[in-house]
Structure 1
């Protein structure tokens, strides 16, 4: 269990979680498969369910509560629906000699979708997240705000309250630009990838990869007033990632030195291995986020 992306949120008010109450609350909003006429369903599942194991609706390690949201969607290709619609419209127009109006087409399309839904394939997706009470953090493995917000909304619905704000509520362009032009905080090393954006009305964007960030080419763009939107970095020899100006952390890769710490857990002991990986991964992410709180001066404006 290794998160690849992080959308983080800071808990703004004291929050306590009773394990029995949490289990009941999540079970009340447990995942159920799509019915014949459902386009999508969403609910909580055991964090171990992707590995074919069942268990409690959450997993906890050192006050870090791992929660999994499962979504099932019906796959109904638009090309299939539109092809049937075109055939029906053509037949009606031939029989009546009159064109089919926009509302009539919409009704026909709905009729086709209703008829085809029971035959549609389904797609399952999972969103993992954890609540760290000790760090006052909620962390979601998501690359988009929409996916993270859906997770937060479901957890809030289940437990009644989840008082959080985004990990950062201001752009980090200035700080990330300082990393490139001046220096990085101790423990952070920049890699050869970044995205720069101009501050004028043109909004021009420069993306570079396998390019030293202290090169003349990059300096020219920075001198012209562009600011850093994203930058690749390594942290404390534990992981590499992309730091974004909105506070998102993407494309996280934990180093072999970290992953090897779970090598002593046999691969056939699935639950034990997932437990060890989650304990290690969640601790490292919380360490990184707590470091960034100070390095990016987030304590003054985040709560």
Structure 2
């Protein structure tokens, strides 16, 4: 269990979770498969369910609560719906001798969708996140705001309250630009990938990869007023990632030095391995995010 993307939030008020109550609250909002006319459903599942194991509705290690949301969507290709719609519209126009208006076409499209839904394939996906009580952090493995907000909303609905704000509440482009021009904080080593954006109306974007960030070309772009929107880095030989100006992290990869700590657990001991990986990963991420809050002077309260 290694998160690949992170949307990080900080708790604005103390949060206390009782294990028995949490199990009950999550169970009451458990995942259920799509019905014949559902387009999508979402609910909680055991964190181990993706590995084919059932268990509690959350997994806890050192006051860090791993909670998993499962989503099921009906897959109806637009080409199939549009093909049936075109046939139906052509038939009506032949029978009536009049063109079919936009409102009628919209109604027909909805009728076709409703009729085909029971025959549609389903797609399952999972959103993992954890609440770290000691660090007052909420961390969601998501690359998009909508996905993370979906996890937050469902958890908030289940437990009644989840008082959080994004860890970064303003654009970090000035801070990230400072990292490139004047040096990153101790513990952060910038690597050779970045995205720069102009601040004028043109909003021109320059993306560089496999290029030293102290090169003359990069300096020219920065001197021209462009600001850093994304930059890749390594943190204390623990992980590599790309940080974006909104405070999100993408393409997180934990180093072999970290992953090797769980390497002696046999692969057939699925639950033991997931437990160890989550314990290690959540601790390292919490430490890293706490470091980032200090390095970027982001408020912890």
TM superposition score normalised by structure 2: 0.99
User: Which of structure 1's runs of 4+ aligned residues deviate more than 6 A?
Assistant: none
CA distance in 1, matches of 2:248, 2:76: 32
Question: 1:288 & 1:272 partners in 2: Cα distance?
Answer: 24
Counterparts in 2 of 1:1-303, with a 5 A limit? 1-299=1-299, 303=301
1:135 and 1:281 map into 2 onto residues whose CA distance is 14
What's the CA shift for 1:173? 1.0
| Deviation of the 1:111 alpha carbon | 1.2
Unaligned runs of 5+ in 2: none
Q: Deviations over 1:169-228 (max 9, x none)?
A: 011111111111111111110100000011111111110000100001000000111111
CA distance in 1, matches of 2:227, 2:105: 49
Could you tell me how far 1:239 is from its partner in structure 2?
0.4
Could you tell me how far apart the structure 2 residues matched to 1:168 and 1:119 are? 44
| Shift, 1:243, TM fit | 0.8
Partners of 1:166 and 1:112 in 2: CA distance = 41
TM-superposed CA distance for 1:24, in Å, is 0.3
SS of the equivalent of 1:100 reads coil
Structure 1 segments unaligned to the other structure (5+ residues): none
Q: Give the deviation of 1:56 after TM superposition.
A: 0.3
Give the Cα–Cα distance (whole angstroms) in 2 for the partners of residues 245 and 105 of structure 1.
43
SS at match of 1:148: helix
Render the CA deviation track for 1:224-264: whole Å, top value 9, x for unaligned.
11111100000000000001111001110000010010011
DSSP-derived class of the 1:56 partner:
coil
CA offsets 1:38-76 (integer angstroms, 9 cap, x no match) = 000000000000000000000000000000001000000
| In structure 2, distance between residues paired with 1:56 and 1:78 | 38
Normalising by structure 1, report the TM-score: 0.98
Aligned with 1:70: secondary structure?
A: strand
Q: In structure 1, what is the Cα distance between the partners aligned to 2:149 and 2:214?
A: 37
- Structure 1 residue 98 displacement after superposition: 1.2
Equivalent residue of 1:26, what SS? helix
CA positional deviation for 1:27:
0.5
Following TM superposition, by how much is the alpha carbon of 1:17 offset from its aligned partner in structure 2, in angstroms?
0.2
User: What is the aligned residue count?
Assistant: 301
Distance 2:180 2:90 in 1: 61
Deviations 1:104-154 (CA, angstroms, capped at 9, x unpaired): 111211111111111100000100000000000000000011111111000
